[in-house]
Structure 1
Amino acid sequence: MIKSKHYYIRKAHRYLGVLLGLQFLLWTISGLYFSWTNIDEIHGDLQHKHPPQLSALSSFVSPTLVLNALPEKADSIRQITVINILQQPFYSIQYFSGNTIKMVLADAQTGKIRPAINKEEAVKIANESFVGLPYVKSVAYITTVGKHDEYREKPLPAWKIIFNHESNTNVYVAALTGKVETFRNSKWRTFDLLWMFHTMDYNGRDNINNWILRAFSVFGIITVISGFALFFVSSKRFRKKKTIE
């Protein structure tokens, strides 16, 4: 018995629909969350308080003084920034020594290079950046992170300050720069999980050029086209025209 085109199109559409249906549902759910959630809440902006600016009357030494005192020879300078650490001005210097990027902090008023941010300083910096007077639940020093960690592609080592707050916010302070790198709360974690389903990057979450996403996008187009084809070959007008011929 010879199968009709209608049969093969319907069968292809059915199996493609089963294969892609769950992923389409995840794309829709994640898209709804992205569009209906306040991005400022996801970024932790409602808890993030920026400290007062440094006084313009502050006296600074020349960065050259600091560069001459670097612990390792600088082949080239990547960045020199004046930052505020607990209301004191510091130079945050990033430089290349060989093929390695080095980072140091130096007192901008004396030029003296200082050690990395310690635990007590990290807690003070995190508290200063947080709205209100939240209770610090625990503190952790992190030197490595996984591909699915909430603190990824950020400077290491870092201090993780966990606050006992309704938003379940963690504040990350980079030990070598003294900078509050990011806020991570419950809504961000939900966003991040749904982002993984949306991009289909189950390895690292942020690569939108992965082959799984590309394949499902192509299959999705084929499914839509097969649906249109099924509609036309199933229509009475098409069958009537075929019967006349």
Structure 2
Amino acid sequence: MRSTKLRLHLLASRTHKWLAIIVGAQLLLWFASGALMSFLPIDRVHGDHLVDRKAVAPLPRGVALVPPSVIVAATGTRIETVSYRMWLGRPVAEATTARGTRLFDARTGALLPAPTAAQAQAVARAAWRSNDHPSVNVELIDRASPEYRGTLPAWRVTFADPDSTRIFVAADTGRIAAVRTGTWRLYDFFWSLHIMDWKNHEDFNTPWLLGFALGGLGLWLGGAVLLCMRWPKRRRSSASG
């Protein structure tokens, strides 16, 4: 009986030791990445100190806007929503259909061409908060990446600032779809370590995450078993002393 308990004790001890070695590294990454993500202000992660995405210019008074029926007739397809807003100093109507979203001149109802690289740059510069005016590079992207998973295609406007700021402008609506900075990239790197999705940085259901979570649970259970096996021995030793 004593030898059986001894074998069980050695098995639990070895299991706990190896789980501590294997799972411990990821536990350290979980704690470190969680602490860092909690430390970084979320507004800096979003780039709000560099880019103003919330400012909305009011529609000018006295300007005659075409009714939604004109926009509906111009699209030739079923429209889900129509909204009016200012875009680069002109009133536009944004129509969402089953085929996508398009912009129309809100004064004439004419379909506007898709936003160009120059217009995407103008949108990005209009939202730029800093007093510095770094040079920019504009390119059209049509593939999702860990850095951007929004509407495609989109214009990527890269600023030559210390944060390597990138503003993504949707190629259909001309709206700012995302802002990426050096702080965001640091946050995203630790986020990928935290959820153990090192490729796409978005999957919570990876086998690695599940495996190490179960390993952490096993580590706790192993420690509990060792505690239960050793505690009576300590009590007897104290009583005999």
TM-score by length of 2: 0.88
**Structure 1 unaligned runs (5+)?**
none
Whichever residue aligns with residue 7 of structure 2, its letter is S
Correspondence list, 1:12-91, <5 A: 12-49=15-52, 50-51=54-55, 53-55=57-59, 57=61, 58-70=63-75, 73-74=76-77, 76-91=78-93
* Whole-angstrom distance in 2 between the partners of 1:188 and 1:39: 9
**Comparing both structures, which one devotes a greater share of its residues to helix?**
2
Q: How many residues align?
A: 233
Identity %: 27
**Quick one: distance in 2 between partners of 1:64 and 1:13?**
70
**SS of structure 2 residue aligned to 1:69:** helix
Q: For residue 151 of structure 2, what is the aligned residue in structure 1? A: 155
Partner residue of 2:177? 181
Any idea what the Cα deviations from partners look like across 1:131-164, whole Å, max 9, x if unmatched? 1342123111111223x2x111x11111111111
How far the C-alpha of 1:87 sits from its partner, in A, is 2.0
Cα distance change of structure 1 residues 47 and 30 upon mapping to structure 2, 3 Å threshold: same
Question: Structure 2 vs 1, CA of residues 7 and 195 (structure 1 numbering), >3 Å: closer, same or farther?
Answer: same
TM-score (norm 1): 0.86
Determine the C-alpha separation between the residues in 1 that align with 2:95 and 2:207: 39
Letter of the 1:4 partner, please give it.
R
Partner SS for 1:4: helix
- Please tell me the residue identity of whatever aligns with 2:142: T
Q: CA deviation at 1:110?
A: 1.2
Q: How does 1:1-245 map to 2 (within 5 A)?
A: 3-49=6-52, 50-51=54-55, 53-55=57-59, 57=61, 58-70=63-75, 73-74=76-77, 76-96=78-98, 101-131=99-129, 132-146=131-145, 148=146, 150-152=147-149, 154-235=150-231, 237=233, 240=236
Q: Which residue identity lines up with residue 64 of structure 2 in the other structure?
A: S
Q: Give the distance between the partners of 2:101 and 2:143, measured in 1 at CA.
A: 17
38-47 vs 207-216, which moves further: 207-216
CA distance in 2, matches of 1:13, 1:166: 47
User: Do the aligned partners of residues 184 and 120 (structure 1) sit closer, same or farther apart at CA in structure 2, a change above 3 Å counting?
Assistant: same
Query: Does the 8 A contact of 2:59 with 2:85 survive in 1?
Result: no
C-alpha deviation, 1:30, in angstroms: 0.8
**Whole-Å Cα distance in 2 between the matches of residues 79 and 9 of structure 1?**
63
Give RMSD over aligned pairs. Answer: 2.2
Instruction: Give the match's secondary structure for 1:235.
Output: helix
